[in-house]
Chains A and B, each alone.
Chain A
Amino acid sequence: MRVVSPMSSRLVALVALLAAGLPAAAPADAAGERVGVNAAVNTDANGTPPNAATRKLVIGQEVVHNERIVTDAKGQTQILFLDGSSVSIGPNADLVIDEFIYDPATGTGKMTLTAVRGAMRFVGGKLSKQENAVTLHIGTATIGVRGGVFVADIQPNGKAEVVFVYGKAVTVSGQSGCAQSLYRPGFAVDINGPGGCPDSPHAAPPGTTAAILNQLDGRAGASGGATTVPTDQTVANSPVPNTVSNNIQVSIQQAGANAPTAQPPAPMVSPPQVPTNQIQVASSQSQPVVSNPQPPQPPPPSIGLAGSFDNTSIFPGPTVSPLQNTSLSNGTLNASVSSGGQQATFALPLPAGRLTTLPPAGIDAGVNGVWGPLTGDTFLSADQSFFYADLISASFNAPNFLGPSLLVGGTAVPSSFFAPTGSTRIFAFNLPQAPPTIANFTGVNTLPFFLNDDGLSDPTPSVSPLYLVAPAANAIGDSSGSTRFLQASLSLTGAQSGQNSALMLATGTVGTLQNGGPLLVGALRGVNAGESYFSPISSIPDGNGNSLYGTSSGIAGFGLNSNQYVLGSNGIATPGTAGPGNGTLASETEGPSTFVSNETFPIAQPAVATTLPAGIGASRSVNALVGFFGGIMTTTATTPISNSFPNAGGNAYAINGIAAIGTNPAANTVTAAFASFGLQSPATGGVNSVTMVFGPEQSAFVDDKNFGAVESRSVPSQINGQNVSSSLYMVTANTAPPPTSFLPTQSICSTCGYLQWGYWGGDLTSGNPASPTRVDHGDINFWVAGQLTPVSQLPTVGTGTYSGGIAGTVVNNGATYAASGSFTNTYNFANASGMFSGTFDTHNFNGAVAGGTANGIPGYAGTITGDNGGKTATVVGAFFGPGAAETAGTFAAHSVANTSYTASGIFGGKLTGPIH
């Protein structure tokens, strides 16, 4: 800042006036120079220039440096300084202009005033815009001005009040140096006499400012010295009103800029767009069906005991007949039925609360005249709300032989039980084995839903309960379709060429029977030694439309058969082409051979409530699992062979690829897509790529470890990019674990936390399903998937040793079987390489793997050798979980010398110790 001495200031002021083309100022007092003019004066106001006599002030008169201005009891004046500042003083005021230095060229300078008493107003000009340029001494305090306007009232006794009006700040300092700053308009400080400090800034009491202004803004009868007194009309005729008061918008804008008020919210002009991308993701994975939710239809009121009689010996033809006049009394079930052209009235002993095995010779069940003595099993729940009886004529010589049949019924579950509870409910039901008596008729049957003549003789198969999972927010059976059921069975006995295996998956939805109650509607998919099973499955409704029996406390049981129902988007189930009246037949596709043949058979299976196994439902998450699948597919071609598959016909080939699985705990559904790597073996018969799509229409998600699905209805599976019809299954191994003889811990990695694994298989049928050109069949194959370790979390240094299990499928000299093993992978993250060694199907493999990206999944791959060079295998793997805690992958192996041995499967394991 330029500092101008008092002497030079005189020159500056003079130059300024000359430059303005004005005549030189009127003669000033000899001792002082002009610093401004009296812009208005109400008498009496007197000025005393330095070293000069006191003079009476008049309008237009110069005010000079060091002049003392005093007003009497009526006096008022406004001094207009050369920098544009103005000071107004009221009556009985005493003001001295100590210093005024101003350079109009730069707008800089200094002003110092001393006011001893009186009311005054300071309105800043150019000087006050500088720091520390304007100072007012009021005897007991000093006021420093940074821009703006303030008013003050100074009492003769030294008390003073300063009110901030506008500007950056006013600092009031007491004589001891204590200071307070004012910067909010309307705030004030008081000085309570000589030596006092300014008090804390506070809002000026009401009327304070008005009282000060009242002393400054003229007085009645006085004209301020003006020769022409303005009137209101003068003001109205001036341009000021249009610029100021009438321009309210500008007033509001400037007030907003000068008063720190809360900024009103900025309008959101464009409505936000919904982040729907994730909906699209869902679309690509699940093709969800959108339907308007409808309230569940309550079942008809219970009219007491009711049930059905499923006479599977009638082939083909209507087999399910409603029980009539059903009652329980004195431990005997009484019911009439019309079945197979026979009229029968049961009087069946039915002890409550237990399963009763009837003697092989049979008992008189009241129908001796129709079917002879009957044998089998009977069951009545302890609360007598549910009963069933597996019945068969005890003798082939009965008048009318009754084949394996199911009598099932009870008291309909009240509708209140089906209402949503706000919590997910999971129920478990046992599927009792078919009774020995029936087995005697058609062979041993230990697996639910399998044809009795399949020779399955596993005394300890892995049979899961039938899980029924009801959503928190939807009623059981409502249009959301989110009540689901899941059941899987696995039999795996013997090894290698001596192995017998079978797997069956039942899954679907609980809808509501048209004019009835909740009804299980779903699909059965199974495999057994190259054969495929597929069938609809449903619970068996009675004459009232109810199929679930129990009390308000729960579902005690129900029957299942292969009646087909079509579930509409409104959740209403209507009979399908294989529904009641059209036969109740499951299908078995025979193979593998060069021909496809079908066999149909009935199923009838009771389900009885049991305790939910520990841990079921403990963790139910939205999962997007990514991983691998592997296995063996066998081509089964009809003749003539299609041109599309010139080399097809009874060959087995390894298939491996990427598995993507999504689980939805809200809808209790599963979607999955298995996409093969490129297939190049001649054994595929021209199949270069296979994609298999599962769910969500017929799927069930019970929890993170128990879920399954059959083929998608909405997205077709494909071979070589061409749609094919399919009958597929995929299910977690945890639902039906393999025996310890297969894997000692019944898992490839029983302690892994981020991996799931399971089975897949079924048929892909090319050409017209009625006359297929080719069927590609997978029996019990394997998949593994989990939460991939994000690329950003993959270690970049250190070595980790992973250990775990292997599960795969083998074709060895024509014998197809499942095999298992174990592996170790010592992986160096720093140089992205590892040593993979393992034993599978009694063969030892080892070799190096190298880091890379396998089909977009960061992981590793390598070709390893087995049996000292007799076999070779390709391994592709990735890391899962935080910090690459686990690993999993897929492999394909074959013999080097010939095509006698082909294997494909998956592996999974975890770190045996920290990466270091």
Chain B
Amino acid sequence: MMGRFRRLALRVLLALVLALPAANSVLADGADQAALEKQKDDLFQQMLANPANLDVVFSYADVSARLGDNEAAVSALEQMLLFNPNLPRVDLELGALYFRMGSFDVARTYFDKAASYKPPPEVQKRIDEYLALIARETSPNRLSGYVFMGAQYQSDANIAPASSMIISPIGPVLLTNQFVKTSDFDIFANGSVLYSYDLGNQNHDTIEVSGTGLVNHYMKVGRLDLDFGEITAGPRFRFPELPLDWVGAATVKPYAIVNEVGLGEHQYFATYGAGLETTGVVLGDIALRSAFEFRQKTFSNAADRPLSTGLTGNDKLVTLQASKPITSNSSLTLEFDYVDQLTKLTYYANQSYAAAATYHIRYDDIAGLPMETSLYVSRLYSIYDAPDPCCVTGGGFSSRDDRRWRFGIIQGFQVADNIELILQIERNIVSSNLPLYGYTSNSVVLGPQIRF
């Protein structure tokens, strides 16, 4: 299996390397941008000299739009309406430009005007598409989300140690089969929705309710079948007019959390809690996100996990995330997480620190089909509070001390406007001073992801 896994990973990497030179961004970047800027300046001077030259004006509008300068493009096209107000195609372009600027009322005005001219079908089709988008954007009620379903292979589905022998307080113990490393396939369905309600004020404050769910079913280790449902809800306050010039798009969202998790067809744990999330953009294009969450979790035992209630307790989570565009179609995200998990059984209590980096790029492959790739790596340290009675090391009990590497690649193949085929290949390496908790697992996930 490992051989096949490696070959598949190599193929994906090869496809990525071959595809990168063909990557074609929507907006110009780098040297292209500089050339376009010069071209725009030249065209502007020509416009000043001869504003009646239609070719120059259209070219200026085109280059400006390609540079993302929608205001300049608007100026040029509005000039055209003074030349001839009966131009539904210009109204269409103006509408699209105002749409891009987020000025949906003005965009709708131009689309309505274009439609009033009974334009050709292809123009009307575009108008209808944009009007539908505007209806969605301007509705106070918004629903977005995704559904992801598929199959997963894990070389160590039950994240068990490779060796069936552990040194327990009773001496070397041979774990029964269900607790040693087992590869397995599972099928899963996962989805998340976000409902937001626009409070209608100028700050664009909203009420957000999000729901996330997951169900999966293992072919062999059915006791690990997981059902997960979580709802968070709270207001998101936006601060578009902060006095700090270097901070933009700042938001603060306090929220409540409830979830319910089932494992192996029995209740596993339930959670209530609260969180506070802040987001913002600093230094122009670095998106920051921080979150603090408090989660009170109540676990339930089952016949095959008699100590689950020992995990009952609370989590305190801190997340710091920064994401920066590297090019117009790629970005780098860095994340730091800290979790303080307090549990009823002290040897389950731990503090975990994790750092992660993700590089994401969108591009078209050689055939012109859109693709996206994410490469990620993370490192986690978990330090437990009390000696774990599970195992003996060096003649005595020790507190558990885990290290984890997790890295992988996610390849998305867009097969429709809102549907991607996702292939994920991942490797997890967990080492622990208590061999019971060490494992290495490779996984492959394949399935369609539908966004809405």
Interface size class, chain A? 35 or more
Give the interface centre of A60, A121, A717 by most chain B CB atoms within 10 Å: A60
Chain A residue nearest to B250 (CB atoms) is: A260
A184 and B102 CA atoms in complex are apart in Å by 9
Q: How far does the Cβ of A104 sit from chain B's closest Cβ, in whole Å?
A: 9
Q: Are A721 and B172 neighbours in the complex by a CB distance under 8 Å? A: yes
Q: How far does the Cβ of A34 sit from chain B's closest Cβ, in whole Å?
A: 9
Given the known inter-chain contacts A227-B52, A624-B347, please indicate yes or no for A274 contacting B263, CB distance below 8 A. Answer: yes
Q: Which of B39-97 contact A (CB under 8 A)?
A: 41-42, 44-45, 47-52, 54-55, 58-59, 61-62, 65-66, 68, 70-75, 77-90, 92-93, 95-97
User: Which one of B2-10, B14-22, B443-451 is at the interface?
Assistant: B443-451
A-contact 0/1 string along B378-395, CB 8 Å cutoff: 000000011111111111
Q: Say if the beta carbon of B109 comes within 8 Å of chain A.
A: yes
Residues of B within 8 A of A675 (CB): 169-171, 392
Chain A residue nearest to B25 (CB atoms) is: A250
B-contact 0/1 string along A761-803, CB 8 Å cutoff: 0000000000000000000000000011011100000000000
B-contact 0/1 string along A640-675, CB 8 Å cutoff: 000000000000000000101010111101000111
Q: Are B81 and A218 neighbours in the complex by a CB distance under 8 Å? A: yes
Choice from B48, B109, B214, B436 contacting A37 with Cβ under 8 Å: B48
Choice from A248, A290, A665, A790 contacting B303 with Cβ under 8 Å: A290
Q: Which of A189-245 contact B (CB under 8 A)?
A: 201, 203-204, 209-210, 213, 216-220, 222-232, 234-236, 238-241, 243-245
Chain B interface main SS type: mixed
Q: Say if the beta carbon of A288 comes within 8 Å of chain B.
A: yes
Q: Are A667 and B387 neighbours in the complex by a CB distance under 8 Å? A: no
Q: How far does the Cβ of A21 sit from chain B's closest Cβ, in whole Å?
A: 8
Q: Are B214 and A271 neighbours in the complex by a CB distance under 8 Å? A: yes
A282 and B301 CA atoms in complex are apart in Å by 11
Choice from B158, B161, B188, B306 contacting A667 with Cβ under 8 Å: B306
User: Which one of A407-415, A546-554, A848-856 is at the interface?
Assistant: A848-856
Q: Are A856 and B387 neighbours in the complex by a CB distance under 8 Å? A: yes
A274 and B133 CA atoms in complex are apart in Å by 39
Q: How far does the Cβ of A758 sit from chain B's closest Cβ, in whole Å?
A: 17
Q: Say if the beta carbon of A422 comes within 8 Å of chain B.
A: no
Residues of A within 8 A of B93 (CB): 235, 240-241, 244-245
Choice from A226, A667, A696, A858 contacting B301 with Cβ under 8 Å: A667
Given the known inter-chain contacts A165-B98, A166-B101, please indicate yes or no for A271 contacting B188, CB distance below 8 A. Answer: yes
Q: Are B104 and A280 neighbours in the complex by a CB distance under 8 Å? A: no
Choice from B169, B200, B344 contacting A660 with Cβ under 8 Å: B169
Q: Are B305 and A265 neighbours in the complex by a CB distance under 8 Å? A: no
Give the interface centre of A166, A184, A269 by most chain B CB atoms within 10 Å: A269
Residues of B within 8 A of A226 (CB): 52, 54, 83-84
Give the interface centre of A219, A258, A259, A854 by most chain B CB atoms within 10 Å: A259
Q: Say if the beta carbon of B152 comes within 8 Å of chain A.
A: yes
Chain B residue nearest to A722 (CB atoms) is: B171
Residues of B within 8 A of A806 (CB): none
Q: How far does the Cβ of B205 sit from chain A's closest Cβ, in whole Å?
A: 10
A626 and B202 CA atoms in complex are apart in Å by 61
Q: Say if the beta carbon of B168 comes within 8 Å of chain A.
A: yes
Q: Are A149 and B74 neighbours in the complex by a CB distance under 8 Å? A: yes
Q: Say if the beta carbon of B203 comes within 8 Å of chain A.
A: yes
Q: Are A223 and B87 neighbours in the complex by a CB distance under 8 Å? A: no
Q: Are A244 and B178 neighbours in the complex by a CB distance under 8 Å? A: no
Q: Are B424 and A269 neighbours in the complex by a CB distance under 8 Å? A: yes
Q: Are B437 and A277 neighbours in the complex by a CB distance under 8 Å? A: yes
Q: Say if the beta carbon of A402 comes within 8 Å of chain B.
A: no
Q: How far does the Cβ of B434 sit from chain A's closest Cβ, in whole Å?
A: 10
Q: How far does the Cβ of A596 sit from chain B's closest Cβ, in whole Å?
A: 25
Q: How far does the Cβ of B240 sit from chain A's closest Cβ, in whole Å?
A: 5
A674 and B386 CA atoms in complex are apart in Å by 19
User: Which one of A81-89, A92-100, A526-534 is at the interface?
Assistant: A81-89
Given the known inter-chain contacts A149-B71, A255-B99, A718-B171, please indicate yes or no for A269 contacting B422, CB distance below 8 A. Answer: yes
Q: Are A20 and B192 neighbours in the complex by a CB distance under 8 Å? A: no
Give the interface centre of B80, B129, B426 by most chain A CB atoms within 10 Å: B80
Q: Are A853 and B445 neighbours in the complex by a CB distance under 8 Å? A: no
User: Which one of A38-46, A302-310, A315-323, A386-394 is at the interface?
Assistant: A38-46
Q: How far does the Cβ of B141 sit from chain A's closest Cβ, in whole Å?
A: 11
Q: Are B397 and A857 neighbours in the complex by a CB distance under 8 Å? A: yes
Q: Which of A20-57 contact B (CB under 8 A)?
A: 20, 22, 36-42
A185 and B52 CA atoms in complex are apart in Å by 31
Given the known inter-chain contacts A265-B193, A270-B424, A271-B190, please indicate yes or no for A228 contacting B54, CB distance below 8 A. Answer: yes
Q: How far does the Cβ of B135 sit from chain A's closest Cβ, in whole Å?
A: 13
Chain B residue nearest to A129 (CB atoms) is: B71
Choice from A220, A248, A276, A691 contacting B159 with Cβ under 8 Å: A276
Q: Are B305 and A282 neighbours in the complex by a CB distance under 8 Å? A: yes
Given the known inter-chain contacts A209-B105, A250-B100, please indicate yes or no for A265 contacting B146, CB distance below 8 A. Answer: yes
Choice from B62, B92, B307 contacting A238 with Cβ under 8 Å: B62
Residues of B within 8 A of A41 (CB): 82
A290 and B221 CA atoms in complex are apart in Å by 12
Q: Say if the beta carbon of B286 comes within 8 Å of chain A.
A: no
Chain A residue nearest to B449 (CB atoms) is: A267
Interface size class, chain B? 35 or more
Q: Say if the beta carbon of A294 comes within 8 Å of chain B.
A: no
Q: Are B179 and A279 neighbours in the complex by a CB distance under 8 Å? A: yes
Q: Say if the beta carbon of B223 comes within 8 Å of chain A.
A: yes
Q: Are A78 and B78 neighbours in the complex by a CB distance under 8 Å? A: yes
A715 and B168 CA atoms in complex are apart in Å by 11
Q: Are A259 and B137 neighbours in the complex by a CB distance under 8 Å? A: yes
Q: Say if the beta carbon of A897 comes within 8 Å of chain B.
A: no
Choice from A86, A187, A272, A626 contacting B387 with Cβ under 8 Å: A626
Q: Say if the beta carbon of B142 comes within 8 Å of chain A.
A: yes
Q: Say if the beta carbon of B318 comes within 8 Å of chain A.
A: no
Choice from B44, B152, B391 contacting A84 with Cβ under 8 Å: B44
Q: Are A183 and B71 neighbours in the complex by a CB distance under 8 Å? A: no
Q: Are A234 and B169 neighbours in the complex by a CB distance under 8 Å? A: no
A227 and B84 CA atoms in complex are apart in Å by 11
Q: Say if the beta carbon of B210 comes within 8 Å of chain A.
A: yes
Residues of B within 8 A of A787 (CB): 346
Q: Are A84 and B168 neighbours in the complex by a CB distance under 8 Å? A: no
Q: Are A223 and B309 neighbours in the complex by a CB distance under 8 Å? A: no
Q: How far does the Cβ of B438 sit from chain A's closest Cβ, in whole Å?
A: 10
The 6 sampled A-B contact pairs (Cβ below 8 Å) are: A186-B106, A240-B65, A283-B178, A624-B307, A624-B347, A854-B396
Identify 8 new A-B residue pairs, CB closer than 8 A, beyond the known A666-B309, A791-B385: A84-B71, A184-B240, A185-B105, A269-B410, A287-B176, A662-B389, A666-B303, A721-B172
The 7 nearest A-B residue pairs measured at CB: A856-B396, A218-B85, A856-B397, A258-B102, A224-B82, A259-B102, A264-B144
Binding site for B on A (CB under 8 A): 17, 20, 22, 36-42, 59-60, 76-78, 80, 82, 84-86, 88, 121, 123-125, 148-149, 165-166, 169, 181-187, 201, 203-204, 209-210, 213, 216-220, 222-232, 234-236, 238-241, 243-255, 258-265, 267-274, 276-291, 293, 480, 482, 622, 624, 626, 658, 660, 662, 664-667, 669, 673-675, 689, 691-693, 696, 714-715, 717-718, 721, 787-788, 790-792, 853-858
